[in-house]
């Protein structure tokens, strides 16, 4: 999906706006007649606020209902809940439209005394910060850091990912700060860089040129602190960098740059700090570092290798190298000693540092093995050379080429590994590339007239800016259209390639592509608040989360290195004693060695061939690639746990409305059982249903508007004593008449008689896969509404494909049995649970789990949330509610049923790679260690020199990462492509 959009996203700079100059109102409102949902309204207004009022004078639910209804009529109100028992009113609103004082006055206009309660009702007890950790080399390192973090008081949960070299820490901000978390990591010996604090405020870093002293930094800091909305300021004189936290509703980056550049007589210049903390920049730096280290090691290692392995066979050069300097010390030995020392102690310093950090905290990692192996070879060689220099007869044999070649090959392996690991996160980079680099900012006068336009860095966009989007350009930020008409390609979010028409009042999403007309949009969500940033964060969090199968590698890592050291020492001791006790023929010993040196080489080979890195990378690299591929396919998988559970799924529970069906029900038939004017009937029904959020209620209200064609937004009669009966319907008093609208269960529960002819109408309706809604007025059944919600195209084929994958499908719905059975029969589902309340859905999921099934739940509504949480894997349709998406493990962004199959198939392919990685990593160690220990030497004479063992160890990590990278070639099951060819792609 991301790649498809990238190909469309080139900005045509030659496009010119020849349209008349627009005029904007100073305070844009939602245009009259434009239907805007609560979620869209949030997008339009940006961040929401909450206020708590004390309301004195309420005596009954009717009082509370009148307060609630009056407040809800105000513009910009998202939600109002009145608690009559505690005399409280909790209001969620958008500050751009309304404020606390207006709400308070409105409550008092109803006749009650209202007071704003000054308390923080939004206070968070948990925050999540992300930290980059430099210096980790294997699973042992990440386990050490994770254990240290979890031991810190106030840390609720800590995850450290080796593949991404990042930590995600959930902590209580009342107990500790993120600076204490950084210190805890640095105390373990690793460098920690804060990426994000997880606080509900924006943060930006600015670089300032022209600053020379700390006093200048303080002057600039004081100027910035005076700006409204600025919360925290930190500065770094060495990097000439400011880090600011601020409230985006009050200020923004352009204001900061303006203040900085106006301070100090214009000698300071400010810009957004280069993304030095970014993952890609860090990766490039690491690649360059390993590359430079490898090249420098080659400068010294190649001469050592030539002197040890090549020049000894060239008579003239051999004679020169064998020339003695002091006693038995030759020129060749001295040169090898001199050349190998920088490799051992300068280029190989990282291994000493890593070993010290690990051992200091009671663990052992790959660095310990490398340091021990290379030190054994190097210091034995030093001993041999020094003894030759002080002896008249000792014939020395050095292993300087072993230590230097070992380090060179390991650095090459690390370079290739980092190069390959970087490719595992390409999905995030592609998502981030969707955001345009520049934007056209329009400047307005006080009356809203356009006076200027300029091109700015898109990162400098602030809330409430007016941005111009030309044809072919990417939308620079989330916002809504204030002028113009066009079509926008939103495939990066919805997966629907057909452009969506946009006009005044419509929502636009940052990163989508404007197709034809010019649009002027008002920015509502910028920076980290944007939809694109939230998707990126979701994918990043998914890549951080460990799969349960990774615990296997974590357990092994605790004793792997100590075991290898024991095996290495045992190998040396066994061969050494066998040589001393004449346990093998002397002919086995190469002419240039003695039994001690042969045993030492076997011991070093065992130490350096063992590879804990391959085991540590087996799971996280596959999870990273798998979640990245999923994101590019429109399937957001929230981490390794979801991936692991999905590949075992053998039973899927489907919700009906909005999942198997389109989710936009319409009234198709009305049958009145009593003589009544249809307009009057629908006024009573709509008045009762207008307060309900249920899709069927919305369909009824929408249909009722047809009888009030003279009014654009009709006002329905007031409904008193409104009550929503979950899973059944609604009850209210309208025009002094008790109105009940709901299913058969509601009517029977109220002891209202259902005539025989009504039963027949219901059966007929349900037989047509329609939902029958019964209407009772003053305890007498007066009408039946037939509501149809058409099936999603391709639903039957998707159920059929799941059956071929040995996955059982079950339909669970709150709808009646007749409609549920008709829908199930149409799509090919055999097991049906109907008339289920939200808790019934969750109970059914638990029953299936108790029977030994691994259950996935697919839903889209608030009523599906308990079942989504209860299931082993919760899959939320992307067009569903925020609560459902939050509760789910997998989000199907395109709202396509096909993606249920993609999610299961991708998880199966990912886990096949993980198993393959473990098979290779374990098999490599199980086979490699005995061969390095000399298991084949007695029978075949084959011996693995330490430098070849080191090269094999380096290659094993690279091969595991490359095996994971093959997942990037993932293709959806061919059966789904067949659906597309037949034109059944779900929209």
- Asked whether the predicted pLDDT for residue 381 surpasses 90, the reply is no
Which uninterrupted H or E stretch holds 463?
A: none
- Asked whether the predicted pLDDT for residue 281 surpasses 70, the reply is no
- Asked whether the predicted pLDDT for residue 280 surpasses 50, the reply is yes
For 16, residues 6+ apart whose C-beta sits below 8 A from its C-beta are none
What pLDDT, on the 0 to 100 scale, is given for residue 591? 74
What pLDDT, on the 0 to 100 scale, is given for residue 868? 81
Which uninterrupted H or E stretch holds 570?
A: helix 550-580
Strand ranges, E, within 659-747: 666-672, 719-725, 729-734, 737-742
What pLDDT, on the 0 to 100 scale, is given for residue 119? 45
- Cα gap 560→613, rounded to integer Å: 11
Alpha-carbon dihedral sign for residues 297, 302, 304, 309:
positive
**Alpha carbon 824 to its chain's center:** 34
Where do we find the tokens 């308990």? 866
Give the CA distances from residue 399 to residues 76, 498, 692, 928, 930, in Å, rounded to whole numbers and listed in that order.
78, 67, 82, 22, 22
Q: What 3-state class would DSSP assign to 806?
A: coil
- Cα gap 912→827, rounded to integer Å: 31
Give the CA distances from residue 894 to residues 31, 37, 350, in Å, rounded to whole numbers and listed in that order.
28, 19, 47
Q: Are 66 and 110 in contact (CB under 8 A)?
A: yes
- Asked whether the predicted pLDDT for residue 395 surpasses 80, the reply is no
Phi/psi at 451 (nearest 5 deg)? Answer: -120, -20
- Cα gap 850→349, rounded to integer Å: 56
What pLDDT, on the 0 to 100 scale, is given for residue 978? 57
- Cα gap 877→881, rounded to integer Å: 9
Give the CA distances from residue 139 to residues 18, 179, 718, in Å, rounded to whole numbers and listed in that order.
60, 25, 65
Give the CA distances from residue 769 to residues 764, 784, 792, 857, in Å, rounded to whole numbers and listed in that order.
9, 15, 14, 22
DSSP-derived pairing of the beta strands 808-812 and 651-654: parallel
> Which of the residues are catalytic?
655
Percent of residues, the chain, with pLDDT higher than 70: 85
DSSP per-residue codes, 242-298: EEEEE-TTT--HHHHHHHHHHTTTTT-EEEEPP-TTSHHHHHHHHHHHHHHHHHHHH
- The pair of structure tokens assigned to 58 is 């309420």
Note the pLDDT tens digit of each residue in 559-616.
888 888 899 999 999 999 998 888 888 888 887 678 888 888 898 888 888 877 777 7
Question: What number is the average pLDDT over the span 729-748?
Answer: 89
- Asked whether the predicted pLDDT for residue 18 surpasses 70, the reply is no
Question: What number is the average pLDDT over the span 850-861?
Answer: 86
**Residues found in the chain:** 987
What pLDDT, on the 0 to 100 scale, is given for residue 29? 38
> How many CB atoms neighbour CB 804 within 10 A?
10
Question: What number is the average pLDDT over the span 954-978?
Answer: 80
What pLDDT, on the 0 to 100 scale, is given for residue 424? 61
Note the pLDDT tens digit of each residue in 38-70.
444 444 444 567 888 888 877 666 677 778 888
- Cα gap 942→529, rounded to integer Å: 62
For 722, residues 6+ apart whose C-beta sits below 8 A from its C-beta are 65, 688, 691, 730, 731, 732
Question: What number is the average pLDDT over the span 893-904?
Answer: 85
> How many CB atoms neighbour CB 701 within 10 A?
21
Strand ranges, E, within 173-229: 191-196, 202-209
- Cα gap 157→908, rounded to integer Å: 28
- Asked whether the predicted pLDDT for residue 8 surpasses 70, the reply is no
Which uninterrupted H or E stretch holds 238?
A: none
Q: How confident is the model at residue 312 (pLDDT cuts 50, 70, 90)?
A: confident
Q: How confident is the model at residue 93 (pLDDT cuts 50, 70, 90)?
A: confident
Strand ranges, E, within 419-564: 438-444, 450-457, 466-469, 478-483, 486-489, 500-502, 507-508, 513-514, 519-525
- Cα gap 73→983, rounded to integer Å: 44
For 160, residues 6+ apart whose C-beta sits below 8 A from its C-beta are 133, 136, 142, 143, 145, 146, 149, 166, 167
- Cα gap 776→248, rounded to integer Å: 51
What pLDDT, on the 0 to 100 scale, is given for residue 545? 63
What pLDDT, on the 0 to 100 scale, is given for residue 35? 40
- Cα gap 71→463, rounded to integer Å: 26
Note the pLDDT tens digit of each residue in 933-946.
999 998 888 888 88
Note the pLDDT tens digit of each residue in 467-504.
999 998 888 888 889 888 898 887 666 555 568 888 88
Q: How confident is the model at residue 546 (pLDDT cuts 50, 70, 90)?
A: low
Candidates 684, 640, 690, 701; CA nearest to 890 is 640
- Cα gap 785→775, rounded to integer Å: 8
Ramachandran region, residue 495 (left: φ > 0; alpha: ψ -120 to 50; beta: rest): left
Note the pLDDT tens digit of each residue in 626-671.
888 888 787 888 877 888 888 889 999 998 877 888 777 888 889 8
- Cα gap 643→625, rounded to integer Å: 12
- Asked whether the predicted pLDDT for residue 138 surpasses 90, the reply is no
Alpha-carbon dihedral sign for residues 290, 291, 294, 299:
negative
Q: Are 953 and 604 in contact (CB under 8 A)?
A: no
- The pair of structure tokens assigned to 429 is 């980079």
- Cα gap 631→315, rounded to integer Å: 63
Question: What number is the average pLDDT over the span 924-940?
Answer: 88
Q: 56 forms bridges with which residues in the sheet?
A: 113
Q: Are 36 and 80 in contact (CB under 8 A)?
A: no
The more confident residue out of 982 and 1 is: 982
- Cα gap 167→195, rounded to integer Å: 10
What pLDDT, on the 0 to 100 scale, is given for residue 30? 42
- Cα gap 245→461, rounded to integer Å: 16
DSSP-derived pairing of the beta strands 808-812 and 831-833: parallel
Which uninterrupted H or E stretch holds 158?
A: strand 155-161
pTM for the model stands at 0.64
Angle, in degrees to the nearest 10, between helices 253-262 and 214-225: 130
- Cα gap 133→676, rounded to integer Å: 73
């Amino acid at each position: 999906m991301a790649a498809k959009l990238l190909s469309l996203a080139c900005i045509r700079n030659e496009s010119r706006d020849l349209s008349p100059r627009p005029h904007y109102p100073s305070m844009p409102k939602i245009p009259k007649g434009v239907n805007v949902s609560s979620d869209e309204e949030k997008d339009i207004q940006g961040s929401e606020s909450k206020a708590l009022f004390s309301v004195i004078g309420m005596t009954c639910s009717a009082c509370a209902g009148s307060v609630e209804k009056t407040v809800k009529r105000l513009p910009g109100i998202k939600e109002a809940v009145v608690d009559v028992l505690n005399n409280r009113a909790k209001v969620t609103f958008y500050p751009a439209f309304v404020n606390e004082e207006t709400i308070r006055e409105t409550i008092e206009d109803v006749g009650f005394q209202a007071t704003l309660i000054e308390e923080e009702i939004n206070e968070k007890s948990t925050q999540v910060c992300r930290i980059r950790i430099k210096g980790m080399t294997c699973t042992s390192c990440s386990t050490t850091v994770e254990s240290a973090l979890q031991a810190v008081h106030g840390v609720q949960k800590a995850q450290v990912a080796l593949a991404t070299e990042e930590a995600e820490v959930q902590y209580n901000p009342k107990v500790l700060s993120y600076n204490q978390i950084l210190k805890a990591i640095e105390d373990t010996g690793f460098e920690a860089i804060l990426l994000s604090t997880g606080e509900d405020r924006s943060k930006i870093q600015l670089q300032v040129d022209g600053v020379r002293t700390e006093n200048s930094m303080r002057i600039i800091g004081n100027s910035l602190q005076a700006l409204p909305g600025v919360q925290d300021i930190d500065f770094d004189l060495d990097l000439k960098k400011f880090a600011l936290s601020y409230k985006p509703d009050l200020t923004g980056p352009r204001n900061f740059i303006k203040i900085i550049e106006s301070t100090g007589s214009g000698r300071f210049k400010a810009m957004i700090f280069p993304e030095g903390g970014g993952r890609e920049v860090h990766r490039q730096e690491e690649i360059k570092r390993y590359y430079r280290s490898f090249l420098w090691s080659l400068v010294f290692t190649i001469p050592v290798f030539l002197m040890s392995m090549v020049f000894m066979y060239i008579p003239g050069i051999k004679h020169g190298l064998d020339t003695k300097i002091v006693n038995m010390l030759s020129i060749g030995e001295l040169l090898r000693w001199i050349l190998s020392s920088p490799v051992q102690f300068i280029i190989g310093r990282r291994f000493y540092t890593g070993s010290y950090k690990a051992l200091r905290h009671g663990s052992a990692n790959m660095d310990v093995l490398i340091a021990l192996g290379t030190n054994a070879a190097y210091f034995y060689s030093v001993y041999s050379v020094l003894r030759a220099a002080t002896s008249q007869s000792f014939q020395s044999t050095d292993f300087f080429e072993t230590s230097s070649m070992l380090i060179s090959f390991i650095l090459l392996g690390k370079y290739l590994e980092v190069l390959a690991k970087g490719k595992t996160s390409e999905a995030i980079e592609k998502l981030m590339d969707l955001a345009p680099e520049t934007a056209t900012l329009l400047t307005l006068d006080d009356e809203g007239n356009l006076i200027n336009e300029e091109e700015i860095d898109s990162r400098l966009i602030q809330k409430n800016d007016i941005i111009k989007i030309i044809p072919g350009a990417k939308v620079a930020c989330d916002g809504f259209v204030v002028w113009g008409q066009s079509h926008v390609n939103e495939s990066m979010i919805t997966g629907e390639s057909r452009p969506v028409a946009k006009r005044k009042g419509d929502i636009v999403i940052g990163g989508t592509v404007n197709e034809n007309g010019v649009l002027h949009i008002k920015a509502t969500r910028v920076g980290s608040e944007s939809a694109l940033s939230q998707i990126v964060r979701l994918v990043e969090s998914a890549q951080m989360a460990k799969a349960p199968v990774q615990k296997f590698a974590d357990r092994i890592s605790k004793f792997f290195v100590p075991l290898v050291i024991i095996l290495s020492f045992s190998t040396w001791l066994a061969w050494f004693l066998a040589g001393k006790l004449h346990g093998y023929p002397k002919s086995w010993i190469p002419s240039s060695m003695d039994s001690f040196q042969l045993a030492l080489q076997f011991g070093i080979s065992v130490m350096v061939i063992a590879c804990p890195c391959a085991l540590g990378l087996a799971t996280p690299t596959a999870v990273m690639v798998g979640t990245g591929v999923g994101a590019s396919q429109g399937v957001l998988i929230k981490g390794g746990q979801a991936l692991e559970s999905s590949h075992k799924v053998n039973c899927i529970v489907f919700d009906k409305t909005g999942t198997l069906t389109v989710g936009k029900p319409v009234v198709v038939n009305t049958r009145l059982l009593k003589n009544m004017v249809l307009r009057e009937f629908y006024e009573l029904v709509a008045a009762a249903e207008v307060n309900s959020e249920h899709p069927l209620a919305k369909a009824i209200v929408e249909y009722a508007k047809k009888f009030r064609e003279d009014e654009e937004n009709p006002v329905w009669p007031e409904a008193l004593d409104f009550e929503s009966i979950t899973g059944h319907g609604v009850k209210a008093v309208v025009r002094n008449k008790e109105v009940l609208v709901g299913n058969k269960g509601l009517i029977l529960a109220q002891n209202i008689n259902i005539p025989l002819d009504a039963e027949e109408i219901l059966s007929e309706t349900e037989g047509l896969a329609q939902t029958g809604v019964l209407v009772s007025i003053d305890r007498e059944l007066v009408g039946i509404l037939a509501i149809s919600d058409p099936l999603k195209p391709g639903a039957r084929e998707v159920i059929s494909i799941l059956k071929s994958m040995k996955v059982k499908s079950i339909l669970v719905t709150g709808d009646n049995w007749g409609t549920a059975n008709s829908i199930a029969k149409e799509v090919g589902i055999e097991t049906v649970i109907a008339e289920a309340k939200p808790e019934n859905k969750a109970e059914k999921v638990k029953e299936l789990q108790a029977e030994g099934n691994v259950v996935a739940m697919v839903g889209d509504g608030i009523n599906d949330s308990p079942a989504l949480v209860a299931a082993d894997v919760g899959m939320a349709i992307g067009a569903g509610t925020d609560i459902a998406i939050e509760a789910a493990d997998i989000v199907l962004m395109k709202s396509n049923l096909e993606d249920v199959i993609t999610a299961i198939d991708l998880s199966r392919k990912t886990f096949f790679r993980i198993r393959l990685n473990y098979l290779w990593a374990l098999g490599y160690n199980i086979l490699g260690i005995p061969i390095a220990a000399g298991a084949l030497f007695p029978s075949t004479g084959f011996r693995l020199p330490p430098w070849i063992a080191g090269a094999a160890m380096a290659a094993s990590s690279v091969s595991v990462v490359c095996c994971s990278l093959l997942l990037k070639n993932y293709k959806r099951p061919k059966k789904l492509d067949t659906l597309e060819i037949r034109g059944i792609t779900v929209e």
